[in-house]
Chain A
């Protein structure tokens, strides 16, 4: 075949243009804005060095928001990975009804986060919520329970919904990893006298590790960027005590008109994600070398 040297680039061009304009360009804009003076009305002024970053760190809610973001990411990613992994192990067994179970367990992945969050928001209402309704009418409780009595508990609920919607992604990543394992490996392990735990540790885990890495790193990024759950359930109230970085920078920039510190926060968040991305890249490269 006699393809010209530049032919591949022509094929790539539309994709490059699309991503360059709508992904790369906004990144550059955010970087530039974070070093510029921005008035309350949004007029962009001159270069002011790191002033916006200093302002961002000095915001009264900054520490709380960073702490929340940390716990949000760690608890949601950690727990959903563990639970999703267990579900995948079970779904990998042959049992009647497995197909139905698979279809059911993937549901939360297909649903818009804002809808999931709204439904859970209604479910845990104290005065008329569905959870109290069901539990009372089934005779499990005899008095309505206030499921969201403090902001700490509300934050725990937000984490719960986060875990709930994240599990399917982990499950299905691990599941496809599990399905690619050669069954003869297990047979060999059985012949060697390996029990359930030993097989899990020596056969399953090492072989599923690549899928698990993919899902964990992608989840860190998705969960970090998750906006609708916190925004729908509490809007960060009271006084930013349940805000994560993303909801906080949204509030800062579009409600409180503090675009300067908000862009600085954006850049900080972006850099955190870049660190995750590079960890991921290194992982992928290693896999490629191994393969």
Chain B
């Protein structure tokens, strides 16, 4: 058996070396090509074709030949700036630029002071360390079963896996940082959209692109900088992945399972990031200044100044009132739904009577009715009852349309509690009402709270019926109220999202508190009917 591990580990080690060599070869290719000015010269005041012009042109061509000898093709461009002097003659100021396309391999980033340089050094280190740690972890224990390794060996083998993961992750970060530095950040400085740190950035870029020779000419030399990345760079990923797989094999032996787990983690992380993203946007946009929410240049991800005053502003613009309305609508709806739902659920859980099946079926079916498809009927009914444009009307509608769900959850809870205690209370001479309130309700408290919160949240988040029924601004619930910040001609995004934050945070907390009970209630109600 031991021979088997030796063989497997040897194969893995061999693969890992292949992966590293492949990576190094890829890094040697000129994957990045730049097109930039490499030399500029300004002529003195001159006319096209006169002596001064020719002299300057000759000098530039001389320089161009020198650059061409390096093997990369060059082109010369000239820009004329015309001006009229005091005698009325038009003269020109010529700027000659020699442009050159040159390639750089990844090792050029090894000495680069740019951020991508740090990442590349990290990438290279972790890739090499993957192999080094694997060697250290294997030395002297190449025959051992991965489960019974001595502590030190297990540590080195784990470190090898972690290094492998890190080097793999560095690749996209490296690419992103290069994109950012050479096109986005440079253009932000060039278009004078940001100022801070310009000198330092230019010095670093100069030292990378021109070995620091550009100096004062730097700005005109990079004025048309183009960067092109070869797709071959992505071959680094499979090469590094080979190393990682080998490292996993050496550490755990069971590659397939471990890789599956890793893929699972990646999946969950991606899904979680997408899920949290809109909340993140709500937070950073809600606490921004108006100008920054409409920033066409996309200068900053985070607000430059956190505007907590937005919260105060919206409270003065009616949001306090809307929140109160929502609280009343949701609270009232919950109360009504519970007052009607608890007795009904009790009867359905504990008593046998004619028509019980019919009623249960009716409860399930009425869950199918959404108020939205019945909008017209509801608004007509509310007109007749004179409940149009009233908070009480909203309470009743929300209570009615959540009735099915409430009964569903409550009945499930009541059924799960044994009836013995109540029966004892009944024998002791308590009425049914007392048995319910004194015995069953305290015991069913978690289920009742779940139903209560669920109805509350549904009513709090309701939007459609409220838009139809409520026409007075001061009676709006928050979901309708926030739309006042997004009228057709002007959207105040910062206020819209600040109000959204206030409307969201409390219910999210409530929801998380019942998450566990809710899932249990959902299916027990749904499957058992």
- Give A contacts to B, CB under 8 Å: 1, 3, 5, 7-9, 11-12, 14-19, 21-23, 25-30, 33, 86-87, 90-91, 93, 95, 101-116, 118-120, 122-123, 127-128, 130, 132-134, 136-140, 142, 144, 164, 172-173, 175-177, 179-180, 210-211, 214, 218, 221-222, 224-228, 246, 249-250, 253-254, 259, 262-263, 266, 269-270, 273-274, 276-277, 280-281, 284-285, 287-288, 291
Contacts and interface: CB of A to CB of B under 8 A. Distances in A.
A29 B380 contact: yes
A114 B463 contact: yes
A128 B369 CA distance: 40
Contact of A176 (B177, B281, B359, B523): B523
Contacts of A127: 294, 296
Given A11-B347, A122-B493, A112 B180 contact: no
Contacts, number: 297
A90 B268 contact: yes
Contacts of A285: 529
Contacts of B81: none
Contact of A15 (B180, B276, B301, B403): B403
10 contacts: A7-B351, A8-B347, A26-B371, A107-B508, A139-B180, A140-B179, A142-B179, A173-B519, A214-B523, A280-B364
State the main secondary structure of chain A at its contact with B: helix
A104 B275 contact: yes
A26 B285 contact: no
Residue of B178, B374, B376 with most chain A CB atoms under a 10 A cut-off: B376
Contacts of A172: 515, 518-519, 522
Contacts of B300: 137
A119 B500 contact: yes
Interface in B457-486: 457, 460-461, 463-464, 468, 479, 482-483, 486
A227 B463 contact: yes
Contacts of B298: 128, 132-133, 136-137, 144
Contacts of B401: 22-23
Interface in B233-283: 261, 264-265, 267-268, 271-272, 274-279, 281-282
Given A133-B301, A221-B368, A123 B374 contact: no
A268 to B, nearest CB: 9
A120 B294 contact: no
A9 B372 CA distance: 30
Contacts of A17: 340
Interface stretch (B14-22, B43-51, B392-400): B392-400
A173 B522 contact: yes
Given A18-B403, A21-B396, A139-B176, 7 more contacts: A15-B407, A19-B403, A22-B396, A30-B374, A164-B275, A173-B523, A273-B373
